[in-house]
Structure 1
């Protein structure tokens, strides 16, 4: 006779040690707000990124901020339909891209145009979506960059799927998905974390916690100790980092990406940063935050911190700073010139790239539209 004990389910495998999943008690930090070295062992087990990588980051951040300002101006001129600025978040935007190889995948949100530019995507193609005349102006497969995602966190499961598929094919590809703090309140985010953990997909979740989901402060979104702690319940190694410290961002992200690539499973990184500008050009941020708060965060400027650090280390000169600014200004001028004309669209484009092979209904609609236009 079979005993009751024999019918019991086998004991589950022991979970990973909690200590290996928990983020640092305080965000990882290399630099104080003024760019001087952070006191003590604030950076923990992470090493200072190489000087060459820091110089690349500096140039890319200066260019990214000038591009961001130019895109904001184009919106005010009616050249773009909308633009969500990422000013103040340069360390996360640029750090994410520099941590990846060309063969890795980036999954950006609508706010991550600066990351697209750092990825080498044509700026006009990057802004096509925000101009309102195409769904995605660049080739996602060729650039290994998914279309910018406007619905919150719906791209997170896609990133996990791509990373898992690459692992099944024996590739060493990593997917990095950018998410805002508001996106962590969406079910897609939690489903992506769970799937990634169960199947050990090589994916890095970078949450850019900039304080607000449009006008909703973080305190009204979660009671968790931090957003990084959300990974622990799913068995995902998590980390917290000062998102306005470029050294810390690069150190943590490079470590996370290479850990995922080596088979260590997914990693969740929460970057504590701030959105200096309004949510978009249609937002009145004065209704939900005060001027002093914004000014406080401006003093934690990531570009100024990195510049001060590199100067003190003798790795950045006045000529280097001038060259970076001149290159950024030339880049902005090119963007301004190329977007000066009115956007033109072909109505037939409505039916392009909807399906790999157009359905009979789509063909019928396209024919009907062509006939109407011919009349």
Structure 2
């Protein structure tokens, strides 16, 4: 029997692994996890486990770096590793991701250089990677705006006759934004190959999810004519299977799908937030018992797959990545004053050049124009 949602005890979620790591039958999801019945099941499980451990370590390292003054801000993902890794590993490389600011695990799956994770959060760049190299747009700060971008991209895919898909990530709070609802109108109207992936972590900063809706978030999609799946977001296998279902529907011309991954933000909204001011510690304790990494650990142990060599390999990988992140942060070059004008437009224009010249003259009054002050505005992709 799937675990109930603590906020609504009578409500069940699609689930493959219980909180204790026990495999349970789920007719809707099981056909989408064929590896579990084959020899490559071990590599799938240990690979997902490694991904979650590594991304949690990156998250912990980034939080520590912010506390030490090396980052201006950081939005932790603690507790949401299964939702991000499960969905991230379901995608093909030609699918395109449009995320919010918390999808570090998805970025890791897409192949973002870990040294580039923290550029924006240190304040050295507007974002950290070339979106066209990994098919992932810069993380969006404006709540819900990325859903419109995803639908527009998916409509372009449709016009091109390709079978790739767009995936938009957002939180439960974003579903109250007009952009998200408008995006679903367009997606349903044009049957665009897009997946709306909502990580319901139960808190929109300090606002609990039950203040936003009296039905499940996934049910909202039905009002737009969009099929939905509601899964245990702390069960990496359930998330993987659900995302595969949605991607297959998109590739077959079946239009959009809404996935609600019910999970929990175990840390603060950002490092500027204090969740103890609004959250019951008993609630955090309840969800800590559903920890996505511990759940998979228990399953691996029950299957005899969590050997000492596997543990050592995963720990070594996490240590290596954490060291790269820390070294990379302090090595990020400081931007020049006039870099603010770079990549503002795809091609140079006189309006921006005039602004740059005015700012250059202003800085020269203080001897701050920098070595590249005379460099003309360069074009870019963004």
Alpha-carbon distance, 1:130 to partner:
1.4
8 Å CA contact retained: 1:64, 1:118 = no
Alpha carbons of 1:229 and 1:207: their partners in 2 closer, same or farther (altered >3 Å)? Answer: same
8 Å CA contact retained: 1:206, 1:271 = yes
**1:181 aligned partner:** 172
- Distance in 2 (CA, whole Å) between partners of 1:314 and 1:106 is 35
User: 3-state DSSP class of the match of 1:356?
Assistant: coil
Alpha-carbon distance, 1:328 to partner:
0.6
User: 3-state DSSP class of the match of 1:34?
Assistant: coil
User: 3-state DSSP class of the match of 1:201?
Assistant: coil
User: 3-state DSSP class of the match of 2:261?
Assistant: strand
Alpha carbons of 1:257 and 1:342: their partners in 2 closer, same or farther (altered >3 Å)? Answer: closer
Alpha carbons of 1:316 and 1:342: their partners in 2 closer, same or farther (altered >3 Å)? Answer: closer
The CA RMSD over aligned residues, in Å, is 1.5
8 Å CA contact retained: 2:20, 2:295 = yes
For normalisation by structure 1, the TM-score amounts to: 0.89
Alpha-carbon distance, 1:237 to partner:
0.7
Alpha-carbon distance, 1:232 to partner:
0.6
Consecutive unaligned residues in structure 1, runs of 5 or more: 1-24
Between Structure 1 and Structure 2, how many residues are aligned? 348
- Distance in 1 (CA, whole Å) between partners of 2:34 and 2:142 is 34
**1:7 aligned partner:** none
Moved over 4 A (4+): none
- Distance in 1 (CA, whole Å) between partners of 2:334 and 2:217 is 43
Select which of 79, 82, 91 maps to 1:100: 91
Alpha-carbon distance, 1:370 to partner:
2.0
2:238 is aligned with 1:242: no
2:135 is aligned with 1:144: yes
- Distance in 1 (CA, whole Å) between partners of 2:34 and 2:218 is 22
Select which of 15, 37, 48 maps to 1:29: 15
8 Å CA contact retained: 1:99, 1:254 = yes
- Distance in 2 (CA, whole Å) between partners of 1:287 and 1:91 is 27
Q: Deviations over 1:158-182 (max 9, x none)?
A: 0011111011101111111111000
Alpha-carbon distance, 1:373 to partner:
2.9
Select which of 78, 100, 103 maps to 1:112: 103
- Distance in 2 (CA, whole Å) between partners of 1:362 and 1:123 is 33
Consecutive unaligned residues in structure 2, runs of 5 or more: 1-10, 36-40, 366-382
**2:287 aligned partner:** 297
- Distance in 1 (CA, whole Å) between partners of 2:140 and 2:248 is 25
Alpha-carbon distance, 1:258 to partner:
1.5
Alpha-carbon distance, 1:62 to partner:
0.8
